[in-house]
Structure 1
Amino acid sequence: MSLRRLVLEDAPFIVELVNDPGWIRFIGDRNVHSLDDARRYLENGPMKLYAKHGFGLWIVERRSDGAPVGMCGLVKRDQLEDVDLGFAFLPAYRGQGYAHEASVGVLDYAWGKLGFKRIVAIFTASNEISERLLRKLGFVPEGTRELTPGDPVNLYAWSRS
């Protein structure tokens, strides 16, 4: 598995990923239904974060053939003080260790290259798969937050000592 920045040519993958029922259930509908919508999503999301912060969400590719399997990276949200670890994978690649491997790589980069001492992660209470992964990575619960009114999410954190 390898990580790289998302580019506009990744629009077909983005259309597929953000319209997956799991994405819509746990992350939300981003109204990305065409290649043009996906390009706008990339420009206003990951690519904007790269320009503003030097990091963002990266595409996760299978090394054997370069197939995109998901995305994983760091998000700086206005509603959170800390940088947030985010990940999402296509259904065919869930449960195969890609999310764990990608998350470990992103966290190593965050600690080693970016010098972060604390990373958080948010997820909806019903997303047990994300919760298991975060616990496996060493994240601990810190309660809930409302990033949007009436929509609480669980907040987990990992601090480097």
Structure 2
Amino acid sequence: MSQPTFETNRLTLRPMRAGDRDAVVRIFADPASSRYLTRDMSDPVNAVTSFERWRGWGSPNGMGTWLLDLNGLVIGIGRFTPSDRLPGKVVEVGWFIARTHAGQGYATEALRTLLDYGTRGLGLPAIWALIHVDNEPSVRLARNLGFLDIADHHYLPAGPARIHVLLPRTDTAGAFAQQPTLRTERLVIRPLREDDRRDVRDIFSDPEVSSFLAGDGKPATWIDDMIDRRLAFDGPKGMGHWAFVEDDILVGVGHLRPSAELAGDVAEIGWYLGRDHQGRGLATEAAVAIRDHGLHTLRLPAVWALVHNGNQASHRLAGRLGFVEVGTGTHYGGPHKVYVALPRTPSR
């Protein structure tokens, strides 16, 4: 699939050509505009090196670098590329507008076209952007375009950045009228009930299970308070809190619900297994079922997981489940890594 050219109200978005090198150097020449980039692109050597690298990379799968052409004048750049800063071969978008043409809506005009192409034309399950925390114009633009500010990132030489993600709107007409019971080879994964309280209390009374939850200073009633919140859940249809049952024994609990920690009420998954039942793959079995229910039955654009930095078992499980670590943040009172699972899309 070749890289297309687009026409907007005022701009032509076209692939780079060999003769565009000087124009690319000129748009990056302002140090004030370039200060938030990965490298100092106001240095002509860096700008030429990047230009040659972008040209050499070509346009695989319809992606690449576009020049924003205003009546023959190059005023900016837009890019879709597999990220070399985030794992999992996710696709990252980037943009740059020369300061002489900033504040006139050109970036919004170009990005709306490119993002629509990415989600509809390329079928990307998510589009990612790394934005320096002090780059207020780009932060506002991302927010206005529907990006979610999701996690911390510390890669940029210019300083700390935040990871933003755009998720396509999806049809959730296939959602269940109520929270379903899921079944795996060994487990019945059914909605949590009041008569599960004693078993759930036993699981979370074990310090090895609860050590990464909610931090110190929890009240004596915290387990029952947590159970009450789970039983009272009144969220989107098809989501909720489940009990993991093996041979009529409650061995763990899990959930899929709108996140109270991440922006945009994105769907967050969680799983907990009693210590006596660990080491046999039951957590993997249950989490796969809940993940797939979210992605394939509810047709969610993504399922997210927050895992405490010290919870090595859950980090390994997230990896086995195909979750991609995309950043970090302080959540539930402690340091967590942010993971995401996206629907698989056909290879191009």
Same fold (TM > 0.5): yes
Q: Which has the higher contact order (CA 8 A, sep 6+)?
A: 1
Asked if the contact 2:127–2:166 (Cα under 8 Å) also holds between the matched residues in 1, the reply is: yes
Task: Give yes or no for the alignment of 1:10 onto 2:16.
Answer: no
Q: How many angstroms does 1:127 deviate by?
A: 0.2
Aligned counterpart for 1:129 among listed residues 134, 137, 145: 137
Task: Give yes or no for the alignment of 1:77 onto 2:83.
Answer: yes
Closer/same/farther in 2, CA of residues 85 and 150 from structure 1, 3 Å limit? closer
Larger Rg: 2
Inter-partner Cα distance in structure 2 for 1:155 and 1:136: 15
Q: Which residue of 2 aligns with 1:153?
A: 161
Aligned counterpart for 1:41 among listed residues 47, 50, 68: 50
Closer/same/farther in 2, CA of residues 84 and 72 from structure 1, 3 Å limit? same
Cα shift readout 1:8-53 (whole Å, capped 9, x = no counterpart): 211111111222123431113147426xx65543221x22332445
Aligned counterpart for 1:20 among listed residues 18, 30, 47: 30
Closer/same/farther in 2, CA of residues 26 and 40 from structure 1, 3 Å limit? closer
Q: Which residue of 1 aligns with 2:152?
A: 144
Closer/same/farther in 2, CA of residues 21 and 157 from structure 1, 3 Å limit? same
With structure 1 as the length reference, what TM-score do the two structures score? 0.85
SS in 2 for 1:115: coil
Closer/same/farther in 2, CA of residues 128 and 137 from structure 1, 3 Å limit? same
Q: How many angstroms does 1:87 deviate by?
A: 0.5
Task: Give yes or no for the alignment of 1:111 onto 2:122.
Answer: no
Asked if the contact 2:62–2:122 (Cα under 8 Å) also holds between the matched residues in 1, the reply is: no
Q: How many angstroms does 1:146 deviate by?
A: 2.5
Q: How many angstroms does 1:150 deviate by?
A: 9.2
Aligned counterpart for 1:29 among listed residues 14, 27, 40: 40
Closer/same/farther in 2, CA of residues 31 and 102 from structure 1, 3 Å limit? closer
Task: Give yes or no for the alignment of 1:56 onto 2:60.
Answer: no
Closer/same/farther in 2, CA of residues 149 and 104 from structure 1, 3 Å limit? closer
Structure 1: tracts of 5 or more residues without a match: none
SS in 2 for 1:29: coil
Asked if the contact 2:16–2:67 (Cα under 8 Å) also holds between the matched residues in 1, the reply is: yes
Asked if the contact 1:49–1:75 (Cα under 8 Å) also holds between the matched residues in 2, the reply is: no
* CA RMSD of superposed structures (Å): 2.2
With structure 2 as the length reference, what TM-score do the two structures score? 0.42
Q: How many angstroms does 1:73 deviate by?
A: 2.1
Asked if the contact 2:28–2:98 (Cα under 8 Å) also holds between the matched residues in 1, the reply is: no
